[in-house]
Structure 1
Amino acid sequence: MPHALLGKVVLSGHNYFTMQRWHTVRRPYQTIKETLAMNFTVTPLVDDFVAEIPDFPFESLSDETIEQFRAVWKQYPLVRFRNVKIGDAEQVAFSKRLGPPVIHPRQLQQGKNAEFPEILVISNKKKVDGTAAGDLGDGEVNWHTDTWFVERPPSAAILRSIEIPPEGGNTYFANMYSAYDALSDELKERLKGLEIHHQNVIDGRGEVRLNKTKPDNEDYATWSGVDHPIVRLHGDSKKPCIYLGGELNRQTIVGMPQAEAKELLADLWARVTEKRHVWVQQWQPGDMMMWDNRCLMHYRDAFDPSTSRLMHRTTVEGERPVAA
């Protein structure tokens, strides 16, 4: 089904970009199943940003269903599946229909799933021997896109809730399309051709990544890593969006003096995470989120360590970012 058939969905005149501090939706609006020959129901939550799909037919993934879903996801880069009753095998199968799986370095460490290597276990739970049963613990996880420090960052991530805490552990998503559109023409012009050097030695927790050695200097521009454009052209939508990756404190801009780069990057990080660009997922049982890792960033707030949070994530291969 061509994407053009989806058209523009109007949310009954409501604009959640201005109505709330964070974009949340507590009641459904119109669906688009009635206007299209869809195999599932799509409820828009935030125009051109977030949609919800209840009772998606994961057990019967026809080519037609996958094609229809791709069209929806192209318009809504953040999709919340509700009433999900699948297991690991079905999640992996769905992910593979969207592209080859990506194995995150953490899947070889604390986040390893013994039966399905495609799954990253995210949890604060402990094994019987007291070691971590998953990755990322119960603390805050700063704004980032997944695996930004490789040549071909993932295109998509799919996160399924298995156990959720009564409070906290929410996931916040920032729209890099709208963040770019909100920039002044002058700033857009300044960003043309600029690339960030993303070091790939130290992770967000300050730990040395697998098979890496920390240099004996703090000149991050000289550390091993990759260079990606600050403004990238989305591979499917062909629209420009901001691409900052993660770890502001260890970022440099190729060919720019460190002080100037630090000031520009701090300004950009503040802009793209403004509340007008952000939507929050308050997890419920049966929720599964899929986001476009090329045009969205995400953040997780902390939760009570005496409670449990268990999530399983799969990741889909992406393309090397190209400048817009």
Structure 2
Amino acid sequence: MEISKFDAALGATVSGIQLGQAQDGDIETIKQALDDNLVLVLHNQTMTDDELVATSTKFGKLDIPGVNPKGKPFHAEHPEINVISNIMVDGQPAGNLGAGEAVWHADMTYKDDPPRAAVLYALEIPPAGGSTYFANMYAAYEALPDSLKKAIDGKTAIHDASHNSAGILRKGYEEITDVRETPGARHALARTNPINGKRALFLGRRPRSYVPGLTVAESDALLDQLWAHATQEQFVYRHDWKVGDVLIWGNLEVLHRRDPFDASARRRMHRTQIGSYWTEAA
């Protein structure tokens, strides 16, 4: 197995291994590479869903994703797998997020204890569009002006639970007009990794976010400034997908977004999520 760093703010390729056949020692090496690089890319992978779940479990306990609009898992045999797809089957979506843009976000931060990492396996890819971008929140925090570090010290933000990253209202929620009433977890704007002691911005998703204790105008101004800083090109890696790619990334240290693509094309991916290790340490 070989780890090759990208010439970017984050990311590395892992070659010489089939992830579905990885042994415990291989997993430990990959875990360290993930800590060091935040995003790992493995090309030309072949895995069954059984292997995806079994291998993902070696990284930690899996989080169960949300259900489909009918209240059932998107993957009947493996409810641990979240299907990311625009494909329709019998008039119903076979997966989440459709073909539109998915704005900058981290996954499931509307929960008090969001997942620490994700594994995403590409099964069908459109001929154009659908690229995914990742931004390094350690580097973004480190590069913050001292005035902004002081401004966010001790402050939290509400992470919207009512919509997904494609802007679609989740079942059981109603649209709100006042961001101060946004449902969802409250997380510190900068958090400390309890394993390595490093601090990272923790922003979740910009739409419907709010910083309690500030006026709406003050909150919007602060959040807009943080988001403009955190998503600068200097912190970003872009991934153009191929069938058989597997990406693993640190959900609590990295933001990601997706380009839209032609809705008549097919895109299908299977994702697992590894449970959190974060604390609210200031």
TM-score range, shorter chain: over 0.9
Where does residue 297 of structure 1 map in the other structure? 255
Q: CA deviation at 1:201?
A: 2.9
Where does residue 175 of structure 1 map in the other structure? 136
Tell me, yes or no, if structure 1 residue 221 matches structure 2 residue 180. Answer: yes
Q: CA deviation at 1:213?
A: 3.9
Where does residue 123 of structure 1 map in the other structure? 85
Cα distance change on mapping 1:155 and 1:219 into 2, 3 Å: same
Q: CA deviation at 1:206?
A: 4.7
Amino acid at match of 1:233: T
Cα distance change on mapping 1:67 and 1:107 into 2, 3 Å: farther
Q: CA deviation at 1:59?
A: 4.4
Q: CA deviation at 1:88?
A: 1.0
The whole-number CA distance in structure 2 between the counterparts of 1:120 and 1:166 is 22
Where does residue 211 of structure 2 map in the other structure? 253
Q: Is the 8 A contact 1:111 1:134 kept in 2?
A: no
The whole-number CA distance in structure 2 between the counterparts of 1:213 and 1:140 is 21
Q: CA deviation at 1:139?
A: 0.8
Where does residue 41 of structure 2 map in the other structure? 80
Where does residue 184 of structure 1 map in the other structure? 145
The whole-number CA distance in structure 1 between the counterparts of 2:203 and 2:164 is 15
Q: Is the 8 A contact 1:151 1:226 kept in 2?
A: yes
Unpaired stretches in structure 2, ≥5 consecutive residues: none
The whole-number CA distance in structure 2 between the counterparts of 1:123 and 1:110 is 16
Cα distance change on mapping 1:48 and 1:219 into 2, 3 Å: closer
Cα distance change on mapping 1:111 and 1:311 into 2, 3 Å: farther
Where does residue 238 of structure 1 map in the other structure? 197
SS of the residue corresponding to residue 107 of structure 2 reads coil
SS of the residue corresponding to residue 253 of structure 1 reads coil
**Higher Cα Rg: structure 1 or 2?**
1
Q: CA deviation at 1:65?
A: 1.7
Q: State, as a whole percentage, how many aligned pairs show the same letter.
A: 35
Q: CA deviation at 1:71?
A: 1.3
Counterparts of 1:91-240 in structure 2, within 5 Å, are: 91-106=52-67, 109=71, 112-127=74-89, 129-210=90-171, 212-214=172-174, 218-240=177-199
Q: Count matched residues.
A: 281
Where does residue 28 of structure 2 map in the other structure? 67
The whole-number CA distance in structure 1 between the counterparts of 2:145 and 2:80 is 41
Q: Is the 8 A contact 1:110 1:134 kept in 2?
A: no
**For each residue in 1:83-134, what CA deviation from the matched residue of structure 2 results, as whole angstroms up to 9, or x when unmatched?**
101121111111100111111214675861111111111111121x222221
Task: Provide the aligned C-alpha RMSD in A.
Answer: 2.0
SS of the residue corresponding to residue 280 of structure 1 reads strand
SS of the residue corresponding to residue 79 of structure 1 reads strand
Q: CA deviation at 1:207?
A: 4.3
Unpaired stretches in structure 1, ≥5 consecutive residues: 1-39
The whole-number CA distance in structure 1 between the counterparts of 2:2 and 2:263 is 37
The whole-number CA distance in structure 1 between the counterparts of 2:3 and 2:232 is 27
The whole-number CA distance in structure 1 between the counterparts of 2:217 and 2:279 is 25
SS of the residue corresponding to residue 13 of structure 2 reads strand
Q: Which moved more, 1:115-124 or 1:55-64?
A: 55-64
**For each residue in 1:189-239, what CA deviation from the matched residue of structure 2 results, as whole angstroms up to 9, or x when unmatched?**
2211110022323444554434x3437x63332343211000011233321
Q: In structure 2, which of residues 218, 239, 254 is the aligned counterpart of residue 281 of structure 1?
A: 239
Q: Which moved more, 1:65-74 or 1:96-105?
A: 65-74
